Amino acid sequence: MHKQSIGIGLIGFGVIGSQVAKVLTEKAEILADQVGCPLVLRKIKVIEQDLTKPQINEIGRQYFTTDEDEFFSDSEIDIVIELMGGESPALQYLEKALSNGKHVVTANKEVIAKNGAGLLRMAHQNNVGLRYEASVGGGIPLIAPFQYELVANKINGIYAIINGTTNYILTRMAIDGIDFSTALASAQRLGYAEADPKNDIEGIDATYKLAILTSLALQSEVKPDDIYHEGISRLSASDFRYARELGFAIKLLAIAKRKLNTIEVRVHPAFIPQDSLLAKVDGVYNAVLVEGDLVDKVLFYGQGAGPLPTSSAVISDVVAEARDIYLNVKNHFQIKLNTGVVIRPMSEIKTRYYLRMTVADRSGVLSQITKVLGDHDISIASVIQKEADKVNQTAEAVLMTHPAGEKAMKQALEGLSHLEVITEIGNFVRVEA
């Protein structure tokens, strides 16, 4: 016997939550066609201060509650959509929903990144579904492809631009030649960066998303804390000038790479070839390049955030879950975890490096630098440029190395910092080809 309708409970009524409520209402008819029966919004769990929002009246005040128990014990709710964000109390809410036998759809990257495996186990034990397509890349299909369409592949690499805030800032720096703080201020003015931008600009947000994608790709449990991360604040306008001259763009890349039986997972700014597709991903757009043994390279591109794209992903999850409920699918896909995945320590990775230094403007400087690098088995591929500063009698030296170990590079940087001829080590950036 099919259900006559499927009840929806919504947690959170911010920009995303109110957009999702709007889509559920405005697209009720076509969504019912997709599912087989109507999706009916039953209740919206909000915090006290939400009750003053004008949209409350559009939806109808009777749908709203601040009472947890009233919400979670509502037997008419089949699917709980969690859109409040943050780890607590969202995690407790998700656990409560699952243990009460509710199917769950969430856009919460932090909760899924940190607790995904446990929540999926709990969903399976309770014979309900847990979907989180909106947690990475907004409306871009990224979770489902790993669970379904790429499932025949051994995934060997992920190269992702998955933080719109930093990509907007880097794009402004690249195009307008402005420095980091000016670009950040512009992003904040436009609402692309928060007042406290740390989570985005330090790469922490990207580690959440990479943890989710890597866990899916490897069918393993990779946590945000397993992922090395480095932010974009050290990048200067001059780095972008040199990058362009060298044929590169600079992007905050989230990288997962399979190397034999280990996996490299890291988030940091990277030089990538100007003519690569990822280099063309500008502004708040996101893109994820996936390498699989069968499919070779596939790339997914789109808006990584915003209420409309995010609602697209949330609603698609709701429809998928509702179809399962309508069709009486009792068993849900259970991720089988590989436990043998070893994270490669950051010190063991090997890449090319871009190195920018302020040096004394006199002869013999380069040979001293070359000597220090050579002592750590690092050879120089090219010396790019020197811009002399007549007043301070310094110049800017930019080097590209051949592939070198991270550990050796860090030691070499330490060595260079003691050279009397080097005024400052401006920046070093890894290169991904």
CB of 292 to its own copies, least distance (A): 7
Rounded distance, CA 126 to CA 232, Å? 42
Give yes or no for residue 323 binding its own copies (CB under 8 A): yes
CB of 31 to its own copies, least distance (A): 7
CB of 153 to its own copies, least distance (A): 6
Site string for its own copies, 412-431 (x = CB under 8 A): --------------------
Candidate ranges 113-121, 183-191, 314-322, 348-356; the one touching its own copies (CB under 8 A) = 314-322
Give yes or no for residue 139 binding its own copies (CB under 8 A): yes
Give the residue with the Cβ less far from its own copies, 185 or 327: 327
CB of 390 to its own copies, least distance (A): 38
Candidate ranges 51-59, 200-208, 330-338, 377-385; the one touching its own copies (CB under 8 A) = 330-338
Give yes or no for residue 294 binding its own copies (CB under 8 A): yes
Rounded distance, CA 323 to CA 36, Å? 7
Binding to its own copies (CB under 8 A) within 77-136 occurs at 133
The CA–CA distances, whole Å, from 190 to 144, 266, 284 equal 31, 28, 11
Structure tokens at 142: 């990224």
Give the residue with the Cβ less far from its own copies, 2 or 418: 2
Give yes or no for residue 336 binding its own copies (CB under 8 A): yes
Give yes or no for residue 176 binding its own copies (CB under 8 A): no
Handedness of CA 268, 274, 278, 280 (dihedral sign): positive
From 135, 199, 207, 316, residue interacting with its own copies (rule: CB under 8 A): 316
Binding to its own copies (CB under 8 A) within 151-170 occurs at 151-153
Site string for its own copies, 267-286 (x = CB under 8 A): --------x-x--x------
Cis peptide before 403 (omega within 30 of 0): no
Binding to its own copies (CB under 8 A) within 10-29 occurs at 23, 27
Give the residue with the Cβ less far from its own copies, 109 or 332: 332
From 86, 87, 101, 148, residue interacting with its own copies (rule: CB under 8 A): 148
From 106, 163, 171, 303, residue interacting with its own copies (rule: CB under 8 A): 303
Give the residue with the Cβ less far from its own copies, 333 or 374: 333
**Catalytic pick among 45, 114, 209, 257:** 209
Give the residue with the Cβ less far from its own copies, 23 or 346: 23
Binding to its own copies (CB under 8 A) within 375-404 occurs at none
Candidate ranges 107-115, 172-180, 201-209, 312-320; the one touching its own copies (CB under 8 A) = 312-320
Candidate ranges 79-87, 108-116, 148-156, 229-237; the one touching its own copies (CB under 8 A) = 148-156
Rounded distance, CA 254 to CA 266, Å? 6
Task: Please answer whether residues 42 and 63 qualify as being in contact, where contact means their C-beta atoms are separated by less than 8 angstroms.
Answer: yes
Site string for its own copies, 26-45 (x = CB under 8 A): -x---x-xx-----------
CB of 16 to its own copies, least distance (A): 12
Give yes or no for residue 190 binding its own copies (CB under 8 A): no
Pick the closest to residue 77 from 143, 120, 128 (CA basis): 128
Whether 209 is a known active-site residue: answer yes
Give the residue with the Cβ less far from its own copies, 14 or 302: 302
The contacts of residue 238 (CB under 8 Å, 6+ apart) are 356, 396, 426
> Could you list the active site residues?
209
Residues engaged in binding its own copies (CB under 8 A): 23, 27, 31, 33-34, 133, 138-141, 144-145, 148-153, 275, 277, 280, 292-303, 308-309, 311-313, 315-316, 319-320, 323, 327, 329-331, 333, 336
